[in-house]
Amino acid sequence: MSEFDLKERFGSHLFDDRVMRARLPEDVYECLRAIRDDGREWDPAVADVVAEVMKNWAMELGATHYVHWFSPMTGVNSGKHEAFIDGVEFGQPLLSFSGKMLSKGEPDASSFPSGGLRATFEARGYTTWDPTSPAFVLGTTLYIPTAFCAYTGEALDQKTPVLRSMQALNKQALRVLRALGDDSVISVRPNVGAEQEYFLVDKEQFDRRLDLKVCGHTLMGARPPKGQEMDDHYYGSISERVRAFMRELDEELWALGVPAKTEHNEAAPGQYELASVFSSSNIACDHNQIMMELMRKVALRHGFACLLHEKPFAGVNGSGKHNNWSLSTDRGENLFKPGKDPANNPRFLLFLVAMIEAVDNYADLLRLSATCPGNDDRLGGNEAPPAVVSIFLGDPMVQILDALAESHEVHNGERRKLLTGVKSLPLVTLDDADRNRTSPFAFTGNKFEFRMVGSSQSIGLVNAVINGIMADTLRGFADQLEAAQDKMKALHEIVRQSWLAHRRVVFNGNNYSAEWAAEANRRGLPNLDHMAAAARAFIEPKNIELFTRTKIFNPGECRSRYEILLEQYIKTVHIEALTMLEMVDRSVLPAALEFLGSISRSAYYAGKRGAECRAAARLVHRLSDAADEVDTARERLVSEIRALKEQDPQKLADDWYAIRSGAMAALRSACDRLEEQVADTVWPMPGYSELLFDL
Ligand code: ADP
Ligand code: MG
């Protein structure tokens, strides 16, 4: 692809600024631009004009349908495809796409998770066009990004809270900047770049495993002789077949204006990563949804199944999603850029301590935002951050803040050069601090990288939370600054006090170590190690107050989202348990018993011919013991499921958690031991070695 082709291709199917400027009347364009960039209110006058132009543009690209594309709480974007045909006259279709069709849709709200907000008889819900995220044409459909709300105005989606949180953050960050004398700034917005990890497996093998098809991850599988211990997959050479997949994925994403950039092999065999260039929070969320959807689709064209689950295989690394986050002004300044002399950059230090304070006060909300059933298997698995939220700042920044708080001098050391000992290599200037890959929330020079997020999750809630807790902390700072006579003195005092009160959440060491778990406990940092426990943060009074103050969720929405999370957990684990039992009853045990029969016959006939075949006799015993163990574990699981009672969702979720980590884990181990005894020609599904190494 030449430079020309790449430029032509990029955004070719996106109704972006270029298209709008070229095709819309000037006043309509300006109105839309101001809604998008300057926080101007929605103006219904533009809808009809935009709709007509958008339809014509989309039809030139081959679109025959449009969809109100929205992000319900299932995590997967949805929408129904409607043809532009609006009647027939003299045998000819009448085409129409009005401003109303663009702005408003009416999906049945009772068919999506609402956590009690919508009963079946109160079905009305609305999708409303989000003019801040550009529409695009994919296949023969025009996709219109929309927010999804109930008749009563409550948010039923991932997008609305992000938009609300961006408004809150913009308001409070502007107050702070203006209190510090900056009158020219118009808006402040969060930027997000998501790094997406995923696995590819061969589609034919995928189809032969019920667990992969139904649950998206394996529920059993004996460890292969080689996993990832040789570290030979990370950044390794990408196979031709996988490369072809990545190439097509890039081209599809580029056409939709998603700036897919960095791709490489990840640590586990069969695992990969794709990161796109950051953009405004709301658009980044849409980009990530598009990316996940296209990964699944394009994989199928290449004979792969794409696994976005957080832990598809036990014993090798799971997949996450790093949410890189920063704040910038409409002038393009990054408020987290330390500059050459961070110790004398008061505005930077103020925003920095605001983030630290926000994380310390709302660590439980951050943990909540990274909660999904699959992430329980990943967090703390010595490959991903633990469930305790802390911040990595790096020693130089800690020294600066300590010095400031304790009123002693700090010297910014000279930037050092990288000494390789080879004269021909470039002299690279070193970063201020080394990297810390183990930290859940790391300051990486001019942005924060939140690494807890699960690979399958929408990044909607994560960003609503980060924006919201930052907005609320800045609100407190703005109150103090606005009231102060001497702004710089007040700023200094805020930074000092905030740092002293919240530095306990900063930890620059190894977050995977047992010492940190103990230390975090001593520091009183919350450790919510599974989804059912983490979900409760949604109904903590302090968090409901935060969400109400920032207008991101009202108390009813907090409650409903809490219930949706519990329901999701309960249903997911229930399905996992039933899938496991079906696999055990209908393939694992039948195959093992048939194999036992054939080995028993071999032993018997060998004996009849005077050969005591020890190998066969011993295998018969081992097989029979292993099969019995599976049977016992199966009985335990069945009886524990039967004993579950109808009860309060939190208690039911806690019970399912106990089953998942007890009876289901035991059944899995028993199946894995049985798999080790059965010939792979007989075992009814592909094993880990085939799944992980055959690409
Ligand atoms: P890593 O070293 O963590 O693997 P990558 O280069 O793969 O880093 O990804 C870094 C991500 O951070 C990219 O999505 C990039 O666009 C994003 N990013 C870079 N600068 C910023 C910023 N100022 N704000 C938000 N995201 C950013
Ligand atoms: Mg990263």
From the CA of 337, the nearest ligand is: 1
Please state, rounded to an integer, the average pLDDT across all residues of the chain: 92
DSSP state of 131: T
Q: Is the pLDDT of residue 204 over 80?
A: yes
Q: Do 591 and 529 fall into the same domain?
A: no
Strand, coil or helix: what is 169? helix
Lowest mean pLDDT, pick from 101-110, 225-234, 580-589: 225-234
353: Cα within 13 Å, side-chain hemisphere? 28
From the CA of 273, the nearest ligand is: 1
CA distance 321 to 310: 9
Q: Is the pLDDT of residue 452 over 70?
A: yes
Q: Do 525 and 616 fall into the same domain?
A: no
Q: Do 443 and 577 fall into the same domain?
A: no
Range of the domain at 654: 569-693
pLDDT of residue 413: 57
Residues with CB under 5 A from ligand 2 (ion): 195, 322
pLDDT of residue 253: 97
pLDDT of residue 118: 63
Task: Tell me, yes or no, whether 95 lies in a domain.
Answer: yes
pLDDT of residue 8: 87
Task: Tell me, yes or no, whether 579 lies in a domain.
Answer: yes
Q: Do 587 and 517 fall into the same domain?
A: no
Atom of ligand 1 nearest to the CA of 193: 14
Distance 149 CA to ligand 2 centre (A): 33
Q: Do 645 and 546 fall into the same domain?
A: no
Atom of ligand 1 nearest to the CA of 435: 2
pLDDT of residue 414: 56
Distance 172 CA to ligand 2 centre (A): 28
pLDDT (mean) for 368-372: 96
From the CA of 450, the nearest ligand is: 2
pLDDT > 70 fraction of the chain, expressed in percent and rounded: 95
pLDDT digit string, tens, across residues 253-293:
999 999 999 988 888 889 999 999 999 999 999 999 999 99
pLDDT digit string, tens, across residues 131-171:
999 999 999 999 999 999 988 888 999 999 999 999 999 99
Q: Which among 637, 473, 648, 440 has a CA at the least distance from the CA of 549?
A: 473
Pocket probe mutation, ligand 1, options 235, 278, 283, max atoms within 8 Å of Cβ: 278
Question: Quick one: how far is CA 284 from the chain centroid?
Answer: 11
Distance 324 CA to ligand 1 centre (A): 6
pLDDT of residue 122: 65
Q: Global pTM?
A: 0.94
pLDDT (mean) for 300-316: 96
User: Per mean pLDDT, which of 116-120, 125-129, 195-199, 412-416 is the most reliable?
Assistant: 195-199
Supply φ then ψ for residue 261, to 5 degrees.
-130, -65
By alpha-carbon position, which residue is closest to atom 4 of ligand 1? 195
By alpha-carbon position, which residue is closest to atom 6 of ligand 1? 262
Task: Look at the chain and report how many structural domains it folds into.
Answer: 3
CA distance 190 to 167: 10
Q: Do 597 and 665 fall into the same domain?
A: yes
pLDDT of residue 292: 97
pLDDT band at 461 (very low <50, low <70, confident <90, very high): very high
Distance 353 CA to ligand 2 centre (A): 22
Q: Which of 157, 172, 206 is the last residue of a domain?
A: 157
Q: Do 337 and 413 fall into the same domain?
A: yes
pLDDT digit string, tens, across residues 1-50:
777 788 889 999 999 999 999 999 999 999 999 988 887 888 888 899 99
Q: Is the C-alpha dihedral spanning 293, 296, 300, 302 positive or negative?
A: positive
Q: 299-325 burial by CB neighbour count: b if 16+ within 10 A, else e? A: beebebbbbbbbbbbbbbbbbbbbbbb
Ligand 1: list residues with CB < 6 Å.
Answer: 191-193, 195, 262, 275-278, 322, 324-326, 334, 446-447, 449
Q: Is the pLDDT of residue 235 over 90?
A: no
Q: Do 577 and 532 fall into the same domain?
A: no
pLDDT of residue 654: 95
Atom of ligand 1 nearest to the CA of 194: 14
Tell me which residue has tokens 């090798």: 316
pLDDT (mean) for 519-546: 94
Name residue 644's amino acid. Answer: L
pLDDT of residue 503: 96
Of the chain, the end-to-end C-alpha distance in Å amounts to: 26
Q: Do 585 and 502 fall into the same domain?
A: no
pLDDT of residue 417: 60
Distance 396 CA to ligand 2 centre (A): 21
pLDDT band at 224 (very low <50, low <70, confident <90, very high): confident
Q: Is the pLDDT of residue 384 over 90?
A: no
686: domain CATH number is 1.20.120.1560
pLDDT of residue 411: 59
pLDDT digit string, tens, across residues 45-89:
889 999 999 999 999 999 999 999 999 988 889 999 999 998 999
